[in-house]
């Protein structure tokens, strides 16, 4: 992939213009920049938004943050989620989730709490170190023209004046009120879950511990959420009740009245922000039109009860980044981008539905219905007293996958786990030792099994060919393309899947697996044929598409 001094497209200002400088836009820009592409981020506001919206992220998102370049800062920026409890009005535990602060499937903790402004500052600071990322603040996108081979974006502001920007692609990461979505002509479908909540962000004057750390109070008299929101920060959320106006709910006097029963007063805490926010669920029917695409809240919204809103947007960025990379580099045709919504749409709908179901548990206002809910959940609790954090991952079912592996129920479409590996004196997470991008992970020697055609294709993908060796292999027996599976993650995973190799995409989803030595060339060939087919389709006359 290119690492040029300027954009790859003749006469363009950037390879990709990203509209919106929230976490999704920043991560997308960074993922593309680390692949060598030139990105301009347009942000309508002159200053960074100073208040938190998101308070937590999962292990898969942490892995994507690390790919974006801030892995070394994650532990400093975050803190453990700890115990997450749903309780009724009487204080009985209905559900209880544990999120230990230790590496899990993705090599990162299952759930991490953060203070979003601090986190976004770290992303912006990293972007500022990259010569191929340009952030233009105070520039609001007002028009986009798709000229077929390029897009022209008009975003007047202090640096551009009235001059337009040209790029190969534009991605709208501009939130729920997306201008790019409007320009695409996409339709938003309301999924029928809409509630107003008062959000109160608090900083205590003295350090204070909470047990449990995070609570959903499922009280029909006033559903309430209490969560950590980064070091030294906490949030209370109160649902607006029928007959109550947003104006009544958001007065300073009313807020302190609501906080006081929880031991929060002006004497021991400072209220840093209060806002009435509408929790809602919606999807967008079209994520792409020509050279314009959507990601994050511009494409979908969900209530926050499962902590998956931002995480879903980051998954969008991870999925879209590697596909744009291949299209920009000429390895695949633009039809590859049609698989973006095909893949992510189903995943997102699953996550929205899960978030809505959790929200229904919390937001029940009917006292009799709440009693029935409590009885049901308490009975379930007897059978399963402890639960892991709510599952957030839904495997891919369609898209860039090995078809036979998927249909046979293999791991294709699932996430590849991450553990620590060793090579020479280095011992660290797989991504840090091997690198990011496509990876062929195998117990075979790929250089002995694959022919020159397949090896050349993998080289064009910048793929990492990695042979994993069992725990206990002496370092002197480890070649440059080999690693020792020191945490016993990869060899058991492959053995358990009945395969000798897994071809992993840059977003950590498994493209497919090879059963044995004879199947490995077919696995690589299948990916090559799928990418080649996108190029052929992209060159077809419009009438034939």
DSSP string across 467-506 = EEE-TT--GGG--TTEEE-TTS-HHHHHHHTT-SEEEE-T
Does some domain include residue 392?
no
The span from the CA of 427 to the CA of 433, in Å, is 7
Average pLDDT over residues 219-239: 96
Average pLDDT over residues 57-76: 95
In 3D space, the residue among 230, 283, 297, 278 whose CA is nearest the CA of residue 57 turns out to be 230
| Res. 3: pLDDT tops 80 | no
- 183 and 293 in a single domain? The answer is yes
Does some domain include residue 218?
no
Lowest mean pLDDT among 35-49, 101-115, 414-428, 516-530: 101-115
284 contacts: CB under 8 Å, gap ≥ 6: 181, 186, 187, 188, 189, 294, 298, 299, 300
Q: Quote the pLDDT of residue 407.
A: 43
Is the N-terminal amide bond of 212 cis, ω within 30° of 0? Answer: yes
Task: Report the Cα 380 to chain-centroid distance in Å.
Answer: 31
Does some domain include residue 458?
yes
- 331 and 415 in a single domain? The answer is no
The span from the CA of 357 to the CA of 490, in Å, is 34
- 409 and 338 in a single domain? The answer is no
Share of residues in the chain with pLDDT > 90 (%): 86
Task: Report the Cα 121 to chain-centroid distance in Å.
Answer: 18
The CATH number of whichever domain residue 435 belongs to comes to 3.40.30.120
What CA–CA distances, in Å, run from 313 to 45, 206, 246, 320, 381?
20, 35, 28, 11, 32
- 37 and 183 in a single domain? The answer is yes
Domain boundary among 294, 326, 355: 355
| Res. 12: pLDDT tops 90 | no
Does some domain include residue 221?
no
| Res. 120: pLDDT tops 70 | yes
Domain boundary among 322, 337, 355: 355
Q: Quote the pLDDT of residue 498.
A: 96
Average pLDDT over residues 440-469: 98
- 335 and 466 in a single domain? The answer is no
SS3 532: helix
The CATH number of whichever domain residue 141 belongs to comes to 3.50.50.60
Task: Say what the pTM is.
Answer: 0.95
Per-residue burial over 46-71, b if 16 or more Cβ lie within 10 Å, else e, is eeeeeebbbbbbbbbbbbbbbbbbbb
Task: Report the Cα 183 to chain-centroid distance in Å.
Answer: 24
Does some domain include residue 253?
no
Does some domain include residue 95?
no
Contact 119, 100 (CB under 8 A): no
498 contacts: CB under 8 Å, gap ≥ 6: 410, 515
Phi and psi, residue 3, nearest 5° = -135, 60
Q: What is the per-residue pLDDT across 100-114, written as a single tens digit (0 to 9) for each?
A: 777 889 999 999 999
452 contacts: CB under 8 Å, gap ≥ 6: none
In 3D space, the residue among 141, 543, 24, 190 whose CA is nearest the CA of residue 32 turns out to be 24
- 53 and 157 in a single domain? The answer is yes
Does some domain include residue 215?
no
Q: Quote the pLDDT of residue 387.
A: 57
pLDDT band at 277 (very low <50, low <70, confident <90, very high): very high
pLDDT band at 535 (very low <50, low <70, confident <90, very high): confident
Look at the block and give the residue holding tokens 């535990």: 93
> Which residue(s) pair with 92 in the sheet?
none
- 303 and 419 in a single domain? The answer is no
Q: Quote the pLDDT of residue 10.
A: 62
Average pLDDT over residues 295-302: 99
Domain boundary among 355, 383, 411: 355
What's the domain range around 34? Answer: 14-77+111-189+284-355
Q: What is the per-residue pLDDT across 240-249, written as a single tens digit (0 to 9) for each?
A: 999 999 999 9
Residue 211 CB neighbours (<10 A): 8
- 20 and 131 in a single domain? The answer is yes
The span from the CA of 113 to the CA of 54, in Å, is 9
What average pLDDT does the structure give for the chain? 93
Token pair for 149: 């081979």
Average pLDDT over residues 401-414: 73
Does some domain include residue 158?
yes
Quote the number of domains for the chain: 2
- 170 and 290 in a single domain? The answer is yes
- 298 and 440 in a single domain? The answer is no
The span from the CA of 497 to the CA of 500, in Å, is 9
- 47 and 157 in a single domain? The answer is yes
Q: Quote the pLDDT of residue 405.
A: 46
- 410 and 476 in a single domain? The answer is yes
The span from the CA of 415 to the CA of 412, in Å, is 8
The span from the CA of 200 to the CA of 275, in Å, is 7
Q: Quote the pLDDT of residue 5.
A: 55
Average pLDDT over residues 25-34: 99
Q: Quote the pLDDT of residue 406.
A: 43
């Amino acid at each position: 992939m290119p690492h040029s001094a300027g954009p790859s497209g003749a006469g363009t200002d950037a390879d990709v213009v990203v509209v919106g400088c929230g976490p999704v836009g920043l991560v997308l820009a960074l993922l593309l920049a680390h692949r060598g592409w030139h990105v301009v981020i347009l942000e309508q506001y002159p200053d960074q938004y100073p208040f938190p919206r998101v308070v937590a992220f999962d292990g898969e998102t942490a892995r994507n943050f690390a790919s974006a370049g801030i892995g070394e800062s994650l532990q400093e920026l975050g803190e453990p989620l700890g115990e997450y409890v749903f309780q009724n009005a009487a204080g009985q535990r209905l559900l209880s989730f544990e999120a230990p602060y230790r590496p899990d499937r993705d090599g990162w903790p299952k759930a991490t709490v953060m203070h979003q402004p601090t986190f976004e500052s770290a992303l912006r600071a990293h972007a500022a170190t990259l010569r191929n990322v340009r952030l233009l603040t105070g520039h609001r996108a007002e028009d986009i023209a798709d000229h077929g081979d390029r897009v022209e974006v008009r975003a007047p502001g202090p640096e551009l004046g009235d001059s337009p920007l040209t790029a190969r692609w534009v991605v709208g990461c501009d939130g729920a009120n997306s201008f790019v979505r409007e320009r695409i002509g996409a339709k938003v479908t309301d999924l029928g879950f809409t509630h107003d909540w008062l959000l109160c962000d608090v900083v205590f004057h003295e350090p204070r511990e909470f047990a449990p750390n995070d609570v959903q109070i499922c009280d029909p008299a006033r559903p309430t959420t209490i969560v950590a929101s980064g070091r030294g920060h906490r949030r209370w959320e109160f649902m607006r009740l029928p007959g109550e106006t947003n104006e009544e709910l958001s007065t300073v006097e009313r807020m302190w009245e609501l906080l006081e029963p929880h031991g929060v007063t002006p004497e021991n805490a400072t209220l840093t922000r209060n806002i009435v926010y509408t929790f809602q669920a919606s999807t967008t029917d079209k994520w792409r039109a020509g050279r314009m695409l959507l990601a994050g809240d511009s494409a979908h919204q969900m209530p926050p009860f499962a902590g998956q809103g931002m995480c879903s947007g980051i998954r969008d960025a991870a999925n879209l980044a590697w596909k744009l990379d291949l299209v920009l580099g000429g390895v695949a045709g633009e039809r590859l981008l049609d698989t973006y919504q095909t893949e992510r749409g189903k995943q997102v709908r699953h996550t929205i539905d899960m978030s809505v179901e959790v929200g229904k548990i919390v937001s029940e206002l009917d006292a009799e219905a709440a009693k029935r809910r409590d009885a049901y959940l308490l009975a379930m609790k007897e059978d399963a007293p402890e639960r892991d954090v709510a599952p957030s991952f839904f495997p891919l079912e369609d898209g860039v996958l090995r078809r036979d592996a998927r249909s046979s129920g293999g791991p294709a479409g699932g996430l590849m786990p991450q553990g620590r590996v060793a090579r020479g004196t280095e011992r660290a997470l797989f991504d840090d030792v091997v690198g990011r991008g496509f990876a062929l992970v195998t117990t075979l020697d790929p250089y002995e099994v694959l022919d020159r055609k397949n090896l050349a294709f993998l080289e064009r993908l910048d793929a990492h060919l990695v042979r994993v060796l069992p725990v206990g292999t002496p370092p002197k027996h480890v070649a440059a393309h080999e690693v020792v599976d020191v945490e016993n993650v990869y060899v058991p995973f492959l053995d358990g899947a009945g395969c000798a190799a897994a071809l992993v995409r840059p977003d950590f989803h498994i493209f497919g697996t090879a059963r044995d030595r004879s199947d490995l060339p077919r696995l690589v060939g299948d990916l090559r044929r799928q990418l080649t087919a996108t190029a052929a389709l992209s060159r077809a006359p419009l009438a034939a598409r």
